[in-house]
Amino acid sequence: MRIMVVMPTAATLPLIERKVAEYDIAVAVHNHGPGDKHFPTPGSAYDKIKNLDPRVGLCVDVGHTVRYGDDPYAAIEACADRVYDFHLKDVTSATAKGTTTILGRGVIDMPRLFRTLRKINYPGVLAFEYESEANDPLASVAESAGYARGILAGLDA
């Protein structure tokens, strides 16, 4: 099924619910951390969508979740039935001032994160999100991908 990642308001959710039924698509509400007045955390979005059409789910942004001060592992487990998309990043601190960094160099316990995703049988995409070094991110993204592969290989060992 096609998934569209969106950043709605609570007021637009009824319209979104009608459109997912009309077009038979899935929609994933993206949490956007401390600056987001509508859905800063997966839990805040889940509370508004849990009783909607099951095609309305979540795009969990783990970096924004941590920057808000939420426990990302507990949030993922609590919303497991509606996690449809995942933005993977690490951040420098668990505060609003935290910025994106290379996976494994920040405050997120990546092995635990991957174990949590495996525990909920997450079947979707992990989208690397790396906002630093916009002019030349390749080396840092490659390091992040290598780190993620290493964790996954360890989980399978």
Q: What is the pLDDT of residues 84-120, one digit of tens each?
A: 999 999 999 999 999 999 999 999 999 999 999 999 9
Q: Which of the four pLDDT bands, split at 50, 70 and 90, describes residue 134?
A: confident
Over residues 66-77, the pLDDT tens digits come to 999 999 999 999
Provide the domain limits for residue 26: 3-156
Q: Indicate whether this model's pTM tops 0.75.
A: yes
Q: State the pLDDT at residue 131.
A: 86
Q: Alpha helix locations (H) across 24-137? A: 42-49, 62-68, 72-78, 110-119
The CATH number of the domain holding residue 150 is 3.20.20.150
Predicted local confidence at residue 19, as pLDDT: 97
Q: Inform me whether the pLDDT recorded for 157 exceeds 80.
A: no
The pLDDT confidence band at residue 156, using thresholds 50, 70 and 90, is: confident
Helical packing angle, 138-156 and 110-119, nearest 10°: 60
Backbone angles phi, psi at 126, to 5 degrees: -105, 110
**Structural contact between residues 5 and 30, judged by C-beta atoms closer than 8 angstroms:** yes
Q: Are 124 and 85 in contact (CB under 8 A)?
A: yes
Tally of structural domains, the chain:
1
